[in-house]
Structure 1
């Protein structure tokens, strides 16, 4: 059976409603929600750095997920830039309100699986080296630590592992593709 527009007939040029249907009886609508793929997930992960190069990383204990270590981050909300989403997620998850010099340094794409995940890696600096993280979401994170990028605890949350691999110029973890952002007028790894 081939898909055909649901026809009104005559000279009616109004847009069709209801999408396409299969020709014949008992067919499934081509736009049937049960046949659609899940919507892509667009997220952000923040490499929040102190002046000594230490990275903020949290111990993630979210119910229903294996425990892991994770960069601050989450979903990008409608109308947000990656940088704004990173600053918001840092504040929501760590209580740190002042971040400086936010910029995208990579995009990480989760390949394979049943859902597309795109995560932007955003580099940021704390406003003060004395900044300490609190636990506004104790059901998700039970502690935050500052660690050298080469001495991070394990296991890492998958998106965080991909972003950190990009930052450290290492190969992408299995199942991820990395797309470095172009950098103009700045060192791509300043602060490391």
Structure 2
């Protein structure tokens, strides 16, 4: 595994909650292809975690969230050694709720995601993206403070 000059990147992902459900999409990516994952993406220079979460959610799903009501849940350190190109991500997990419950997620980046849907937290689809699966198996619950 060639890692010389490699730099960890920061990703911000969103547990978007509605009732007892969480929004997940099936990835189309060299890392975690065909697994279910939270919406999110790369933190841009000078951007807040909340700003990144809101921007990525809007870009990917068209859903608007209230930045002021977001909560930082946890941060994980993920090294993907098996990927076609090894990578290292520090992932910031945020929690948000929809501004308008009638908002329906749209797949605005079909080259990156097969589509978005709501899944009951106690009956999540499989396979989950590795960092999310690790959190679920640990007993993590985005609905608790």
TM-score by length of 1: 0.63
Which residue is equivalent to 2:118?
146
Establish whether residue 53 from structure 1 lines up as the match of residue 20 from structure 2.
Answer: yes
Match of 2:9 among 14, 24, 41: 41
Distance 1:46 1:61 in 2: 18
Cα root mean square deviation, aligned: 2.6
Establish whether residue 69 from structure 1 lines up as the match of residue 41 from structure 2.
Answer: no
Aligned residues: 138
Distance 1:54 1:129 in 2: 12
Secondary structure class of the residue paired with 2:122: helix
Who wins on radius of gyration, i.e. which is larger?
A: 1
Establish whether residue 126 from structure 1 lines up as the match of residue 98 from structure 2.
Answer: yes
Q: What displacement does 1:83 show?
A: 1.3
Distance 1:47 1:97 in 2: 13
Distance 2:6 2:45 in 1: 17
Distance 1:163 1:102 in 2: 19
Q: Retained in 1: the 8 A contact 2:32–2:130? A: no
Q: What displacement does 1:64 show?
A: 7.5
Moved more, 147-156 or 105-114: 105-114
Distance 1:59 1:112 in 2: 18
Establish whether residue 86 from structure 1 lines up as the match of residue 53 from structure 2.
Answer: yes
Which residue is equivalent to 1:174?
none
Secondary structure class of the residue paired with 1:116: strand
Q: Retained in 2: the 8 A contact 1:121–1:163? A: no
Gapped regions of structure 2 (runs ≥ 5): none
Match of 2:127 among 136, 146, 155: 155
CA pair 111-149 structure 1, distance change in 2 beyond 3 A: same
Stretches (4+) displaced over 6 A? none
Moved more, 147-156 or 110-119: 110-119
